[in-house]
Amino acid sequence: MKKILQDLGYERLVNLVQEFGEKKFRAEQLYKGLMLGKKISEINVSAALRAKLLEEYEDCPVRIIRTMRSSDGTEKYLFALADGNVIEGVLMKYKYGNTQCVSTQVGCRMGCKFCASTLGGLVRNLTSGEILSQVLTVNALAGGTVEKRAVTNIVLMGSGEPLDNYAQVTEFLRNVSASGGINISPRNISLSTCGIVPRIYSLADEGLSVNLTISLHQTTDEGRARTMPIAKKYSVSEILKACEYYFEKTGRRYIFEYSLIAGENCGKEHADGLIALLKGRPCHVNLIRLNEVKERNLNTVTEKEAYRFLGLLEKGGLSATLRRQIGNDVGGACGQLRASYLNEDTRGDKNDD
């Protein structure tokens, strides 16, 4: 695989262009083109520079090979990487702007029992430029520019565990929020983790101030370990301590994701457990009804049950919301679109492009 130009921030592009014996303004042209989601071959620089770049760098590291539109406006994308791997992403449309969900790894090795992304294990980490290119490509597709962005918010909730690809993910966060670039504010970016505690501390010290989201899904270590292997390594109380540290360092309220699974985590005792753990903390709970994954034997709850659980949390004094289910008709949760695409692939009826 060739190198990825989108891995480089503006300063490093300047160095590269000068190494090629070109003037500095070429780096500006190049950077501007990249931020507009263009391929190297489409950017208005000298033909000589383009040719030199294309010898070493991927023309288009992330290419949309399939788009699915939901009746509610949500769009799901399947992207092909230069090495033929595929990843997926979503663009959700809200009144206040558009939120893009990006992937940070091809597959995942965390092994959560309800999640489709981890079914085939981890294939590889994405580079910072491959993560950034997902945003640049979708922003361009949705008619956005650098001055007027179509993508206003980002959640790192696609395939992969962001804190298991720490260096590339933090580099991506710096580049996507760089003031001369697409410049999406860290306030509008949420990083979601299954709870890799030491990396939560590192992230707090990084000075990036993105929103931190923890996938909790249970109230006890034993309960959590039933569906999330990472719980055997880090306890809920260690996670809460790390969240406190994150709040001290960044001043940002943290969020807990809690996917409701029938018979697993949505009884009164679980609501009480959550209240005991979280009451008085500067946090919010996001409830999600499980998106059933056909390879997994777990069931979701009814809307009524979900609202009942929400009511218990609110009565207990927690700030909580039940996430509206969107885009259900276009491949559901995290990893499902890629998983179904890979299944098709083995049946030999792939017909994209």
Which residues of the shown chain bind ligand SAH in the complex (CB under 6 A)?
Answer: 112, 114-115, 157, 161, 192-194, 215, 257, 259, 288, 290-291, 293, 333-334
List beta partners, residue 156: 191
Helix axes 303-315, 268-278, angle to 10 degrees: 40
Contact between 290 and 259 under an 8 Å Cβ cutoff? The reply is: yes
CB of residue 264 vs ligand SAH: minimum separation in angstroms? 12
Pairing of strands 189-193, 153-156: parallel
Catalytic one among 22, 58, 75, 88? 88
CA nearest neighbour of 283 among 211, 228, 224: 211
Cβ proximity to ligand SAH, 98 vs 193, nearer residue? 193
CB of residue 85 vs ligand SAH: minimum separation in angstroms? 17
Is 88 a known active-site residue? yes
Cβ proximity to ligand SAH, 181 vs 331, nearer residue? 331
Handedness of CA 118, 119, 123, 129 (dihedral sign): negative
Per DSSP, which regions of 129-273 are E strands?
Answer: 153-156, 189-193, 211-215, 254-260
Is 283 a known active-site residue? no
Q: Which H helix or E strand runs over 107?
A: strand 105-107
CB of residue 116 vs ligand SAH: minimum separation in angstroms? 6
Cβ proximity to ligand SAH, 22 vs 164, nearer residue? 164
CB of residue 291 vs ligand SAH: minimum separation in angstroms? 4
Cβ proximity to ligand SAH, 194 vs 271, nearer residue? 194
Cβ proximity to ligand SAH, 90 vs 271, nearer residue? 90
CB of residue 266 vs ligand SAH: minimum separation in angstroms? 13
CA separation for the pair 130, 79 (Å, rounded): 10
Tokens of residue 102, six digits: 């990006």
Collapse the DSSP code of 99 into the 3-class scheme (helix H, G, I; strand E, B; otherwise coil) and give the result: strand
Collapse the DSSP code of 320 into the 3-class scheme (helix H, G, I; strand E, B; otherwise coil) and give the result: strand
Contact between 290 and 299 under an 8 Å Cβ cutoff? The reply is: yes
Contact between 286 and 321 under an 8 Å Cβ cutoff? The reply is: yes
CA separation for the pair 143, 165 (Å, rounded): 30
Pairing of strands 211-215, 189-193: parallel
Cβ proximity to ligand SAH, 3 vs 109, nearer residue? 109
The dihedral formed by the CA atoms of 39, 40, 41 and 42, expressed in degrees to the nearest 10: 60
Amino acid in the structure at residue 147: E
Catalytic one among 101, 115, 266, 334? 334
Cβ proximity to ligand SAH, 13 vs 339, nearer residue? 339
Helices and strands in the chain, H and E counts = 11, 12
- Rounded-to-5 percentages of helix, strand, coil across the chain: 40, 20, 40
CA nearest neighbour of 115 among 228, 249, 267, 34: 228
CB of residue 332 vs ligand SAH: minimum separation in angstroms? 7
CB of residue 346 vs ligand SAH: minimum separation in angstroms? 22
Active site residues: 88, 334
